[in-house]
């Protein structure tokens, strides 16, 4: 398997550009909070010969592949099996008390989509697993077998922003009365049959439901809501964070956390800003930055990406 053929890091040059000021000194610590197959990390290790990488992933298969890919940097890397809201503990376990540069590349990884038996892709028939960490937690098939109609509708609405949530929830409840829904192909057939023909012309009926199931199974938004503030706390003055989001729910959480960190806490009406109320961070890009048209054409997985970044200005009081 040629990793470069199946994994093209998204917005790599821009990520390097934004994090470079924090990583150019010898001994700088770079945290890849979503290591995946190590594409971003490999480029950072090549570009910054003085950094130490702390690579996090909840997927043991990804850690194994990344470890092989980054073997030539063995004396400069520490790989940790953890969910990324455990970022502070992971950095401490690697022997560091801070991280100079942090990268989050959110969502499902290329490997998880491309390896059929993980059940993430609605285009490939496979067992409905969808766990990023296959050593723990319930599978997507368990959610489909045990959640009530109301619970299914809720996650399809909240995590998939699916307009046909109620229709799909009813169809799943009815179908599971006849047979367990254990494979992605079964679920796709149920969703297509429940979708009005006109709606089928606007996109694949399974796309948002599969996204919602994946987020539910892995607790992605709950984890992200904890992870970004935790990451900000371990950045020193001058430290930088870059976050790549691939859907609006993720991006909203990231925007909220970074905007709050970059806001002044001075009481309204003061003629001057008190130092202890000055913003702790500054935003490095205006709004959410998109991949270039050329990159989107070259790498379709860059099409939905939204990049946000920030730099620490001062220590907490």
Annotated binding residues for S-adenosyl-L-methionine = 38-40, 57, 84, 105, 112
Distance between CA atoms of residues 176 and 248, nearest Å: 31
β-pair type (240-245, 281-283): unpaired
Burial class (CB in 10 A: 0-12, 13-18, 19+), 269: exposed
Neighbours of 205 (CB within 10 A): 23
The two tokens of residue 141 are: 């098939």
Question: 177 in helix, strand or coil?
Answer: coil
Q: How many helices (H) and strands (E) does the chain have?
A: 15, 7
Question: 80 in helix, strand or coil?
Answer: strand
Distance in Å from the first CA to the final CA of the chain: 50
Distance between CA atoms of residues 276 and 264, nearest Å: 9
Q: Where are the beta strands (DSSP E) in 63-194?
A: 77-81, 101-105
Helical (H) or strand (E) element with 190: helix 184-193
Known binding residues: 38-40, 57, 84, 105, 112
The two tokens of residue 311 are: 């730099």
């Amino acid at each position: 398997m040629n990793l470069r053929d199946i994994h093209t890091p998204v917005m790599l040059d821009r990520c390097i550009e934004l994090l470079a000021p924090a990583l150019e000194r010898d001994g700088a610590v770079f945290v890849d909070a979503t290591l995946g197959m190590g594409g971003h990390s490999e480029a950072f290790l090549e570009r910054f010969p003085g950094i130490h990488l702390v690579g996090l992933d909840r997927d043991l298969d990804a850690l194994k592949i990344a470890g092989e890919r980054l073997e030539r940097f063995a004396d400069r890397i520490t790989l940790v099996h953890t969910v990324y809201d455990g970022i502070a503990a992971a950095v401490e376990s690697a022997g560091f008390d801070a991280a100079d540069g942090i990268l989050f590349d959110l969502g499902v990884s290329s490997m998880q989509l491309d390896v059929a038996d993980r059940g993430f892709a609605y285009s490939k028939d496979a067992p409905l697993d969808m766990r990023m960490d296959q050593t723990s937690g319930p599978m997507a098939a368990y959610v489909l077998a045990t959640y009530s109609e109301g619970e299914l509708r809720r996650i399809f609405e909240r995590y998939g922003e699916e307009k046909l949530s109620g229709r799909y929830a009813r169809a799943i409840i009815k179908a599971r009365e006849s047979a367990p829904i254990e494979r992605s192909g079964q679920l796709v057939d149920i969703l297509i049959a429940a979708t009005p023909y006109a709606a089928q012309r606007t996109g694949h009926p399974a796309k948002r439901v599969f996204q919602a199931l994946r987020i539910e199974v892995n607790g992605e938004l709950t984890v992200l809501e904890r992870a970004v503030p935790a990451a900000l706390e371990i950045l020193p003055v001058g430290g930088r964070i870059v976050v790549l989001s691939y859907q609006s729910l993720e991006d909203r959480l990231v925007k909220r956390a970074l905007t709050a960190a970059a806001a002044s806490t001075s009481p309204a009406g003061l003629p001057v800003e008190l130092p202890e109320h000055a913003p702790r961070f500054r935003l490095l890009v205006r709004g959410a930055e998109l991949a270039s048209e050329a990159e989107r054409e070259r790498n379709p997985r860059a099409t939905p990406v939204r990049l946000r970044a920030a730099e620490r200005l001062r220590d907490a009081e």
